[in-house]
Amino acid sequence: MFEFTVRVDRSSVPSLEPTRVHALVEVRTSAPSDLQRLPLHLGLVIDVSGSMQGEKLRATQEALRNLLRRLHPEDRVALVAYSDVVQVVERTGGSEKQRLIDQVARLRAGGNTNLSGGWLEGLAQVERERSAKGLHRVLLLTDGRANLGVTDPEHLAAIGRRGLEQGVRTTTLGFGADYDEDLLTRIADESGGNAYYIETPDHAANAFLQELGELGNVVGQNLELIVGCEPGVRLVDATSFPGRRDAHEALFRVGDLYANDVTSLLLSFDLEPRAPGERTLASVALRYRDVHAAGAERRDARRVQIVHAADPDPVAQDPAVLRELLLHRAARAKEAAVRLADQGQLAAAQGALAEELGTLREALTSDTQFGRADRALLEQELSQSRSLRDEFDEGSYSSLTRKQALMQSLLSRKKRGAYDARPPSS
């Protein structure tokens, strides 16, 4: 059902001098023949502040109706609406989905945005329905900025981490041009969920259904990867996942495993000099709950190994590791460019992207034997980064561009594919 591999970027490295090595951890899953969706325990937390009046609320209501119609009888849903006040509108099972649909139709907009109050209530509602066999998720939608209740980003991030520790992940959905994308991506990042940018009302239904479709393909839960470095080795960088990390050990709470998917973790190590010979850099342990074996815990472990040589192999880097390293750096460059643009340093933002564009182009025209899928991912990243650079250059960079760039970066780092909340073309 799953394949667990660890590979390094080079077959050998110089001896007797400091070296940096990149390692790619991959967990590949297949779909069992009897794949069935687990019961869902959902908290639908909906902003009904005054700015949601009109087409935004109507589109959200239609998107919710589409989602609710797909519920199974064993699912549990809490519908929470928030503005100045927080209200648990309905809490029921999937067998009574019409009650939920009727309540959605009665939602009305008005007031301010107590995002933290709505979110905390949604988390509480899902936590009270927790079961050993089920998926627990809060979907948090807003079109504005938190201006009541808890508004400090660090405090809100801590709420997300606590929810994750309780097994409840939060996916955020930002609607329109005025929501706080920094806050929503931070919440999604810290709580192990996804983040969607709903640019226009007709995109809303697709964002909800993308999330529901993902939940329908879960084959494992609570995947954790534990890295322990050997003496003389320091962990200096890693793909962004919730957890804890220092220079010598780390625990990454990766989240759910999906059928026919690949979960990747990129690790970068600094090595002290060593005489020629084989060397173990670190151990990587895996554990998760197998949802199709009554939640039984599965464990496995691998070693990260390298060869120190007086005359290292000059062969090009491993294509899969190089692909992941390039995508990781491109996501970081995009985020750095956005921060520079926030400070009005558009020339510096262009420069940050130009350097990364050069690296991507060089890799794509090199002798590295990228597979078709890897090449497509790199070309997509090249296109997205080029578009962002052009908007800086042409003076058309906007808050909408900023939101798209940050969502692309987050999803790239989380390995959830390309960002696109638009409905499929007919």
Separation of alpha carbons 116 and 80, rounded Å: 12
- Whether residue 312 is predicted with pLDDT greater than 50 in this model: the reply is yes
What percentage of the chain exceeds 70 in pLDDT? Answer: 94
Task: Report phi then psi at 314, rounded to 5.
Answer: -80, 5
Q: Which residues contact 124 (CB under 8 A, 6 or more apart)?
A: none
Amino acid found at 413? R
Q: What's the pLDDT at 418?
A: 39
Q: What is the pLDDT of residues 91-127, one digit of tens each?
A: 888 888 889 899 998 889 888 888 889 999 999 999 8
64 and 176, same domain (yes or no): yes
- Same-domain check for residues 58 and 150: yes
User: Which of 164, 189, 215 is the C-terminal boundary of a domain?
Assistant: 215
Residue at a domain's end among 171, 195, 215: 215
Which of 65-74, 147-156, 187-196, 329-338 is predicted least confidently?
A: 147-156
422 — pLDDT class (breaks 50, 70, 90):
very low
Query: 67 and 54 in one domain?
Result: yes
Q: Count CB-CB contacts under 10 A for residue 283.
A: 16
Q: Report the alpha-carbon distance of residue 283 to residue 303 in Å, rounded.
A: 4
Task: Report yes or no on 424 lying in a domain.
Answer: no
Please indicate, yes or no, whether residues 109 and 166 belong to a single structural domain of this protein: yes
Average the pLDDT over 189-213 and give the result. 80
Structural domain count of the chain: 3
Tallying the residues shown for the chain, one arrives at 426
- 247 and 330: one domain? no
Is residue 299, in this structure, part of any structural domain at all? Answer: yes
289 inside domain:
yes
Q: Has residue 227 been placed in a domain?
A: yes
Domain that holds residue 328: 319-414
pTM score, whole prediction: 0.81
Same domain? 204 vs 326: no
Domain ends where: 190, 215, 240? 215
List CB contacts of 53: < 8 A, sequence separation 6 or more: 109, 110
Same domain as 205, residue 108: yes
On whether residue 192 sits in a domain, the answer given is yes
pLDDT score of 279:
92
Residue spans of beta strands (DSSP E) within 160-314:
169-175, 195-198, 218-229, 233-238, 243-245, 249-258, 262-271, 277-290, 296-309
Q: Does residue 420 sit within a domain?
A: no
**C-alpha distances in Å from residue 293, one per residue of 219, 222, 373:** 10, 14, 32
- Mean pLDDT across the stretch 396-414? 76
Q: Are residues 29 and 173 in the same domain?
A: no
- CATH code at 228? 2.60.40.3670
Q: Residue 230 has what pLDDT?
A: 94
> Would you say residue 426 lies in a domain?
no
CATH of the domain at 62: 3.40.50.410
Shared domain for 183 and 238, answered yes or no, is: no
- 49 & 73 share domain: yes
pLDDT in tens, 334-371: 888 888 888 888 888 888 888 889 989 988 888 778 88
Query: Do residues 124 and 153 share a domain?
Result: yes
Residue 21 has pLDDT above 90, yes or no: yes
Judged against a pLDDT cut of 70, whether residue 315 lies above it is answered with no
For residue 128, pLDDT over 80 is answered with yes
Asked if 82 and 117 count as a contact pair (C-beta separation under 8 A), the reply is: yes
| 184 found inside a domain | yes
- Is 207 found in the same domain as 87? yes
Task: Give the pLDDT mean for 135-163.
Answer: 84
